[in-house]
Amino acid sequence: MKLIFNDPTFSFETIRTLGYSAYGGSDLGEVVTTANKINDGDFESWYTNWNALAVHVNNQAKSFENSDELLSAGQNYLKASNYFRTAEFFLHGRPDDPRLISTWENSRETFRTGIQLSTQNVEFVEIPYENTTMPGYFYWLDDKPRPTLLVHGGYDSTGEELYFQIVIDALAHGYNILTFEGPGQGEMIRKQKLAFRPDWENVVSPAIDYLKTKPVVDSKRIALMGISFGGLLAPRAAAFDHRIAAVIADDGVFSFDFFDAFAARGHHTHDFGGIEKIIQKLMAESTQVRWVIENGMFTFGAKSVQELFQLTQKYTLKNVAEKIECPVLVCDAANDGFFKGQPELLYSHLKSSKTLMKFDQTDGAQEHCQIGAIKYYNQKVFQWLNKNLK
């Protein structure tokens, strides 16, 4: 799906930002006007223009707040949060760039200000995790014990973005929801410098422990959703923590091994010197490859491309997927530019009750994680959850 840009990565990320307009995360005119100022494929131009929009909308929010128009202020703070997130997206190739932290902090702080000005029941959560805590947001409807959705992102999403992507619809369908960031994500990598870890059950289990302390949570109906790379991490957790009543892989991922992905592109070599030369060439030619590698080194804590490839070898559901006991929803987007073929592979290894749900251009849901058709996607997810969490 093409929108404004010829560069497919810039187009996809613009659709992602615009898609949240259905949930108050953006406005069409602001997105289109800003995107048309950006030089196609230019990371610096991307940051400059999205950040300028975020600052402008943040100033609008402050103006409304100073006039005691708190509803309007909150709405603009929430939009600003999404725009700051978008601005920060391509900065990860330079982890020492001070804009990376400051822009991410702006995204989080505008979100927190905005959500507090809303009427939503929300608690800012610090989940005990080893010698530290993981940040999260717990949203609930009322005092009744309800089924609860536990959600984490993947390779690049933040806890704040998840509000637009899934929280609003979860609440509308009668679910409480806890979103959180684990190692490699959000605050955990940016401030605490904790990179991804393959044994993700040790990340999810503390979040379940937290949920079981909440009287409004029906502890027998806790479902787990993992988005993007989370489509591997969430099934991994469900294989070892059987308190999870259902798991959703959006989209399904069986292997995150970069050597496998490299071979799938037709590069069948085990000489890493040769691989690195090809990667450097591809990074110069493709914003997607450049971003995947730069973001991977950032979130995995790798000091070289070689180390990144070696670290990703640990991320596979081989001999793991078969251990899952709960129902699994594996989602599959027809035009997924990241994980094509992976959902079917995961599905084939599952032994528990399983559903492979395919999305395509018929509903405008063909892009990675159904970006651009989130509302329809969520409707299908909650239809499945309602059936499997009776």
11 classed as catalytic: no
Residue 240 CB contacts under 8 Å (≥ 6 apart), including other chains: 201, 323
d(CA 108, CA 335): 31
Closest-CA residue to 91 (of 102, 79, 78, 77): 102
Catalytic residue among 11, 26, 157, 228: 228
What's the one-letter identity of residue 122? V
The answer to whether 124 touches 115, Cβ cutoff 8 Å, is no
Work out the number of other CB atoms within 10 angstroms of the CB of residue 266.
Answer: 6
d(CA 74, CA 2): 31
The answer to whether 369 touches 333, Cβ cutoff 8 Å, is yes
Residue 268 CB contacts under 8 Å (≥ 6 apart), including other chains: none
Taken in order 252, 257, 258, 263, is the CA torsion positive or negative? negative
d(CA 390, CA 383): 11
Residue linked to tokens 């402050």? 62
Q: If you ran DSSP here, which 8-state letter would residue 20 be given? A: G
Work out the number of other CB atoms within 10 angstroms of the CB of residue 379.
Answer: 14
Record the tokens describing residue 344, joined without a space.
């079917």
Question: DSSP string spanning 26-90?
Answer: --HHHHHHHHTTSPTT-HHHHHHHHHHHHHHHHHHHHHHHHTT-HHHHHHHHHHHHHHHHHHHTT
The answer to whether 150 touches 203, Cβ cutoff 8 Å, is no
Q: For residue 36, report the phi and psi dihedrals to the nearest 5 degrees.
A: -70, -10
Instruction: Enumerate the active-site residues.
Output: 228
